[in-house]
Amino acid sequence: MSEILLKGIGIRKYFPIRGGVSGRTLGYVHAVDDVNITIYKGETIGVVGESGCGKTTLGRVVLDLIDPTTGALFYKPNESEMSQLEQLYSELTSGGARELKKEEKKILNTTKDNIYKSRRRKKDFRSRVQIVFQDPVSSLDPRMLIKDVIFEPIKINGIPVEGENDNGKQKRVKLRGDAATKYILDIVTEMGLNEDHLFRFPHEFSGGQRQRIAIARAIAVKPEFIVLDEPTSALDVSVQAQILSLLKTLQQKYNVTYMFITHNLAVIRAVSTRVIVMYLGKIVEEALTDELFEYPIHPYTQALISAIPIPDPNFRRSRIVLSGDVPSPANPPSGCRFHTRCRFAKEICSTEEPKLKEIRTGHVVACHFAEDILKTESEHTGIKKISEIAI
């Protein structure tokens, strides 16, 4: 395996539901519930799931834009951190999915403090990561010229140059005046925009152009890691394709790692190397992209993949139609969260929560009947066909 860029363990994010006159907490929305995530350097990790499954929240936690309720995040963990992490991880997994004990929370919180709460490291972290949002309209300040929008992160962080500082941090230089203008011009030219665009306001652009500007802003500081939060969802299909190919080109050129959050399986298939499927704040399946699309094991993933439209009128297949709605994340079902809509659900599903198990190499599934499903549907005739035709 290649180098680990970012590792998060036991990440939970509960949003309090406040109500009443005094604003007391009535309950919690379990947006992300006990998620372990590993992101390797240079990959594009796709996070997929329906609305409200916590994928955006996960992206924001990973970038430390919001504090997780519990959990530890490690950016480029070193040896000692890694061993500490491994130990905690094994303790947590052996105990299954349970509420963290007080001491454990404390350990997790102190490790987190070491990573992020130190101001200097936080600033260093900020200069290495970036985010691109779904909505290109609200992600650009309407009262700033494009030149200033793109220049903002450069102004704050500088751009990395060869070599390291004494304290092992990246060496960065701040650009000013002509050098800055030239640098920005180079970046926007690469994005397919021209010099004239720099002196306009965001409302003078189309959606696709605005998304290019948002990407330019993210890539301008040459980050190591970018969270792409549904970057193509607000665009029409032809523009989507342009943006995706632009992202691919940039990834090759700048050697940047992506976390690609979307609900669009076709897009995930096209861009990502590894996929995480989320349902109600939990990871239900994780595998390399081809593996996942060829051998989807979790019933939820199967249903998702069977819903991909296939541009072939003669092709008949059995659709797996999910009945009912997503249960409320404020009051998630007991046991396996998917059991209310699962076609394989048995008694055990509503009482015991399935752990993530490695079923095939690098293919992790959280389902009690994962092996059975794999066996009975080993041919995967219908699904395999889908994976060949889609895209």
- Which of 172, 200, 380, 384 forms a contact with other proteins (CB under 8 A)? 200
Give the 3-state secondary structure of residue 374.
helix
Q: By CB under 8 A, how many residues form the interface with other proteins?
A: 32
Give the 3-state secondary structure of residue 109.
helix
Residue 357 pairs in a beta bridge with: 365
Q: Nearest distance from residue 122's CB to other proteins, in Å?
A: 8
Residue type at 155 in one-letter notation: K
Chain centroid offset of residue 319 CA: 27
Q: Nearest distance from residue 288's CB to other proteins, in Å?
A: 28
208 scored as a contact of other proteins (CB under 8 A):
no
* 233, 263 Cβ separation under 8 angstroms: yes
d(CA 305, CA 299): 10
d(CA 323, CA 300): 12
Residue type at 45 in one-letter notation: I
262 scored as a contact of other proteins (CB under 8 A):
no
The label of the residue with tokens 């936690």 reads 61
Residue 131 pairs in a beta bridge with: 227
Dihedral over Cα of 220, 225, 230, 232: its sign: positive
Q: Nearest distance from residue 208's CB to other proteins, in Å?
A: 17
For other proteins, the closer of residues 214 and 246 by Cβ is: 214
Chain centroid offset of residue 155 CA: 27
332 scored as a contact of other proteins (CB under 8 A):
no
Q: Nearest distance from residue 135's CB to other proteins, in Å?
A: 6
- Which of 53, 129, 305, 383 forms a contact with other proteins (CB under 8 A)? 129
- Residues between 130 and 159 that touch other proteins (CB under 8 A): 130-131, 133, 135, 138-143, 145, 147, 152-153, 156-157
Residue 363 pairs in a beta bridge with: 360
For other proteins, the closer of residues 40 and 183 by Cβ is: 183
Tell me, residue by residue from 34 to 63, as one string, x for binding to other proteins by CB under 8 A and - for no binding: -----------------------------x
Q: Where does this chain bind other proteins (CB under 8 A)?
A: 63, 65, 123, 126-127, 129-131, 133, 135, 138-143, 145, 147, 152-153, 156-157, 177-178, 181-182, 199-201, 214, 217, 221
